[in-house]
Structure 1
Amino acid sequence: MHRRLAYAAAGLVLAGTVAAPAAADSLSSLSVPRGPDSPGYQLRIDTARLGISVSRGGEQVLRTASDAFTFDGGVATRVRSVSREGATVVAEADSTAGRPVTLRITPHPDRFDLSWSVGGLAAGQRATHFDLATSGHWYGGGETSEGKAQPYPLSAGVVDEPEFSPASYMMQEPYFFTSKSVGLHVRTAQPMKVALASGRADLTVTNSAEYTSTVFVESSRRAVYDDYIGEVGKPAKSDATDAEFKSPLWNSWAQYYRDIDQDKVLSWARDLQQAGVAGHTVQLDDKWESNYGNLTFDPKAFPDPKKLAGDIHAMGQKFGLWTTFWVNLDSANYAYARDHGYLVHAKGSTTEPCTVTWWNGTAGIIDLGNPQARDWYTGNLRKLMADYGVDGFKFDTRFFDDRCATTGNLTPQDYQKLGADMTDAFDQQGAGIRTHWGNQHYGFVIRAVDADTTWDGLRTSLRRASAISTDGYPFVETDMIGGSNSMPPPTREVLVRWAQAASLMPLMYASTSPVTTVDTTTGKTVVYPADTAKLYADAVQTHAKLAGYLKTQVQQAVADGTPIMRPVYFDFPADHRFDTIDDEWLLGPALLAAPMITAGTTRDITLPAGLWFDPHTKRTEPGGRTLHGYPAPLDTAPMFVRIGAPGWTGLIGALTR
């Protein structure tokens, strides 16, 4: 029996509530007893000013702020009555806007459903506000927007996401969890606003008449994760092949940005092969097209794309293309798509296409809610495959934009599913797509958003990948190794350290050649020192040695949703030293990754309890302590194998041969 359905058998006790309305100045509380798979909790409704607090084992683990529930023009205030509807507690409150607010809480053994609405008010904004300090550190939510800091934990900095949406380009998920093992799943298919600052978390839904959510109350953060995956689903498969997990994907973006042509790409691919860092696929990124959305090669830059594909194939690699769902107004395909009704409409119109600005101009968006539009678009992709030998695609941009109108009764979240269904029919070549908001079951590879070519960019990309993984997307990779944010190329040290960190993740996503690259801010060629390619190749070889171990972790992720790259506290829940450590993680149950992600050649490494084998020194280290000043010269990426964990013997053999 699922835990959620077991509350009737759990001996639920309700105190301070009665079948008839209670006095307005009373406190309403309920107690859910401990069960075989749940820790139990106590919940209290504040009736002086509507709010809730949750305790577990005598410790307060969640509390709303003083203005707990707000809406367009109002705040819930004094509770007038509390009653019962079966297991559901119903509190009726006044508001500053003179409208009644109804709060409904339905308890279950390891969670409770929380929803509230405002009488007589049409859909609009509904916000629930939480006190941060009560629940410890906050995590989750996915990526912060490009150009904004990614705090770790989220509550350690400022988060301001006014466009936190199913349609966002960011990997965002309406799910948060805390160091006190509480999780919050906001159930909405509409855009949100998310802010964490000044000691409070403000979670706002839009275009909604009701705020609906589930709050998980568990004994560990991993149990909260399992609860959430039980709601949204685990990967049904891995979209990436064994080869894509074993070696890098090479994409042209950070190497050349838009200044690409056939000769440059072929020279780049040959340099990578000669340097011993080649991977499974070479992809052309932005500006292989004659115009954005034309889905035709620029004949000046690529006079013989079929030959280019053949040359890449002759190197033993696949050939791929970047593509977008956005069609620029100066593209020949724009007029065709517009005239055939293949573009999403502007709000308030049933005929006028919606136009949006993006990083490459002004465009319309293919309407995936129109089957004819989808078939036309995918037909163009299949023609590229048939005519030129293209093997797959890096799908980019969003599937929808909140500035536009949806088709029929579709929601922005529906467009995520439509896009995922469409792209799932193609080889995504280890680049995956940026799909979120409940799309875990597809099993796509997920790449972190573009990051700076700096130490800060490396740290930020790792934080983003970790957030994505703990949102239920286990097949993660950083942004392109070395960063890709239209900046000068990374230094030798940043490039090598980034490759080392990526080698200790599920997949490696690469672009900047460790041989020679281009500073697109100056147009000058950058030649890296001769040993850079060797150091990069060592990282690629380390990742290849993990292939067998990673294959087992992929199978585990498909079996039960276990994240491959995960915070150490998932496996060591009582070790709160790891609550704020962002430069160590577990890769599966047996490998602790502790790469250098700052300048320098030494670092402190925190070891969890147990015995840990160091592949570099061939020594066994006792855990539960910190190794101070661990030597990590540029040719060393610190890592430790957990003796006794599943897969540990094979790992030691692979890493020491």
Structure 2
Amino acid sequence: MRKQIGYIITTIAILIGNPVVSQKPMQQLDLDADKNWWAGIISMGEMMPLSNSLTIDMYGNNYGNQVQPLLLSDAGDVVWSETPFQFSYENGKLVAIGDYGTIAHHKAGKSLKEAFQYANANYFNASRRMPSEAFFRVPQYNTWIELTYNQNQKDILEYAHNIIKNGMPPGILMIDDNWQEDYGTWAWHPGRFPDPKAMMEELHQLGFKVMLWVCPFVSPDSATFREMAQKDLFITSKSVEEDKAGLPTELPKRHRPKMIQWWNGVSAVLDLSNPDAVAWFKKTLDFLQSEYGIDGFKFDAGDSSYYTQGESVKPISANEHTRLFAKIGLDYPFNEYRATWKMGGQPLIQRLRDKKHTWEDLEKLVPQMGLAGIMGYPFSCPDMIGGGAFRSFLNDAEIDQELIVRSAQSHALMPMMQFSVAPWRVLNETHLNAVLNAVKLREKFSDYILKTAQESSRTGEPILRLLEYTYPHSGYANVKDQFLLGDTLLVAPVLEKGATKRKVDIPPGKWRSFTGKTIKGPKKITVSVGLDDLPYFEKLNL
């Protein structure tokens, strides 16, 4: 969520109006904190393995990103619950607490990989499906940073033409928020899109696939809202007294939608426990595809916190609403989600939450992407190159050109890369050429990236792997600034401003470096780096 501020970390369960299970006696697991533990809170990947005090309650909170009710240790431990649970790590003590269901604890082996494989086989086995292959071959281009809430036909076409004009390949173009008439009225805004069919035809001819931003909200002053309220398709207020929408009180109770405040206003929210609401949403999306040739959708919002405030037709948890929103994307090979719950092994693009235009946030990419992989989300995207915080690129905002280059390089050999800020607008020739070289490097390895993604769809194994995952108990548990793509490509992006050298942990085996030198591991080395350099090492089968 692009305007969500901070994390809401609490040990108190967030109660919703219609509890889904009877309150059970609290279950508590005291876990061996001498081991290294990774927890399924993707937005906190940089805090893994757990070492600092942390308290988490998953109920009604996805912490701005994907959440999986899972703990894994490097000694083969697996902790899983079908329902949300709490855990705390403090003063060397790790405790898991279950109020809404049973927490299972298994000893699956002796390593992080064995723990993951057990969880994968028993709780989120790979679906053997994957999103469109295009995500792994070509860059994504999101119109958010350049256009923000002024999405319009003229500027979108100009953005697309400039991508090609500046030496970048056509890819997946995501048209972001405010292309529509209103939230929930998913029709092109007639003033800003005079001929959307012609725009779509031109984009396709240029070689782009096109996705549209959508969300589960409906604006209360729209005709869509009035029609859907009568059909009971929204989360409703718990009582007349709670109804803040000013709706006529003579309406039947089910016709009193609960108004939810989110980052861009106050809206009604689809009741995803109601099959009719889901059918309405999918019919709308399918129409956009059949009428305009839209290739897929960026599904934003869906955070469980929006479902803690009202009542639904069926008594399901707030977390379950988030899961049901993600299930909709399974019918669209071009999809993207930021907020999901318990969707491991599924063919969904799982994007990291928006990152700031800072070196500190750049450092979060590797550990968060690594955590996503071992939590069952292999098809992950590391947010937008340079950051998704649009205010960092407005007017006279100070832009760090080196940061954008290093961000592009970090993305280049991850499962996918996504641009938003136009590099040709904010970079000089030297820095732009460095970004273009990162794109060319990705093209060089595109077959390998795709092959690894295809294998992941069959096995469930991460595409981007922590070193500890592949080389257990070798001192790599806290390596957070390099990663493996598959098992044979080691990547060590430059994450420090002004760096001219980079320390790298070389695992066992023989590796050919980005300079052509053969290195035998395990060993620690230091390599020299220029602006154009992304240190990578290919494992040799000797």
Shorter-chain TM-score: which interval? 0.7 to 0.9
1:98-140 CA-to-partner distances (Å, cap 9, x unmatched) read: xxxxxxxxxxxxxxxxxxxxxxx960673636466x4332213
Give the structure-2-normalised TM-score: 0.86
Q: One-letter code of the match for 2:423? A: P
1:185-223 CA-to-partner distances (Å, cap 9, x unmatched) read: 1x133x4344333333343334x2x54322334211100
Aligned residue in 2 for 1:236: 127
Aligned mate of 2:340, from 432, 435, 444: 435
Gaps of at least 5 residues in structure 2 are: 1-10, 14-20, 240-252, 394-398
Give the structure-1-normalised TM-score: 0.72
Aligned mate of 1:358, from 262, 269, 274: 262
**Residue 552 of structure 1 pairs with residue 451 of structure 2:** yes
Aligned mate of 1:264, from 145, 148, 155: 155
Aligned residue in 2 for 1:188: 82
Aligned residue in 1 for 2:8: none
Aligned mate of 1:139, from 35, 38, 48: 38
Structure with greater proportional strand content: 1
Aligned mate of 1:458, from 324, 342, 362: 362
Q: 1:71 to 1:337 in 2, by over 3 A?
A: closer
Aligned residue in 2 for 1:32: none
Q: 1:487 to 1:127 in 2, by over 3 A?
A: farther
Tell me the distance in 1 between the aligned counterparts of 2:388 and 2:515: 34
- State the secondary structure of the residue aligned to 1:362: strand
Within a 5 Å distance, the mapping from 1:357-376 to structure 2 comes to 357-376=261-280
Q: One-letter code of the match for 1:128? A: Q
Gaps of at least 5 residues in structure 1 are: 1-69, 73-120, 517-526, 646-657
Percent same amino acid among aligned pairs? 23
1:129-160 CA-to-partner distances (Å, cap 9, x unmatched) read: 6466x43322131323xxxx653324233434
Within a 5 Å distance, the mapping from 1:23-422 to structure 2 comes to 123=23, 126=26, 128=28, 130=30, 134-144=33-43, 150-165=45-60, 169-185=64-80, 187-189=81-83, 191-206=84-99, 208=100, 210-347=101-238, 350-398=254-302, 401-422=307-328
Contact conserved, 2:134 with 2:172, CA < 8 A, in 1? no
Tell me the distance in 2 between the aligned counterparts of 1:141 and 1:125: 24
Contact conserved, 1:275 with 1:533, CA < 8 A, in 2? no
Q: One-letter code of the match for 1:588? A: G
Tell me the distance in 1 between the aligned counterparts of 2:509 and 2:45: 31
Shift of 1:461: 3.0
Q: 1:443 to 1:293 in 2, by over 3 A?
A: same
Contact conserved, 2:73 with 2:115, CA < 8 A, in 1? no
Tell me the distance in 1 between the aligned counterparts of 2:435 and 2:25: 50
Structure having greater relative contact order (Cα 8 Å, sep ≥ 6): 2
1:332-386 CA-to-partner distances (Å, cap 9, x unmatched) read: 3222211111112334664432221111111111122222222222222222223
Shift of 1:264: 1.8
Aligned mate of 2:331, from 397, 406, 425: 425
Q: 1:232 to 1:163 in 2, by over 3 A?
A: closer
Q: One-letter code of the match for 2:67? A: Q
Contact conserved, 1:165 with 1:172, CA < 8 A, in 2? no
Tell me the distance in 1 between the aligned counterparts of 2:371 and 2:456: 16
Tell me the distance in 2 between the aligned counterparts of 1:174 and 1:436: 8
Contact conserved, 2:385 with 2:407, CA < 8 A, in 1? yes
Contact conserved, 2:37 with 2:73, CA < 8 A, in 1? yes
- State the secondary structure of the residue aligned to 2:375: coil
Tell me the distance in 2 between the aligned counterparts of 1:71 and 1:583: 34
- State the secondary structure of the residue aligned to 1:335: helix
Aligned residue in 2 for 1:593: 491
Aligned residue in 2 for 1:496: 405
Aligned residue in 1 for 2:384: 480
Contact conserved, 2:28 with 2:97, CA < 8 A, in 1? yes
Contact conserved, 1:127 with 1:202, CA < 8 A, in 2? no
**Residue 511 of structure 1 pairs with residue 420 of structure 2:** yes
**Residue 609 of structure 1 pairs with residue 508 of structure 2:** yes
The number of equivalent residue pairs is 504
Aligned mate of 2:532, from 635, 641, 647: 635
- State the secondary structure of the residue aligned to 1:549: helix
- State the secondary structure of the residue aligned to 2:410: helix
Within a 5 Å distance, the mapping from 1:572-587 to structure 2 comes to 572-576=471-475, 578-587=476-485
Structure index of larger Rg? 1
Tell me the distance in 2 between the aligned counterparts of 1:441 and 1:218: 21
- State the secondary structure of the residue aligned to 2:56: strand
- State the secondary structure of the residue aligned to 1:283: strand
Q: One-letter code of the match for 1:316? A: G
List 4+ stretches of structure 1 deviating above 6 A: none
Aligned mate of 1:447, from 343, 351, 362: 351
Contact conserved, 1:154 with 1:196, CA < 8 A, in 2? no
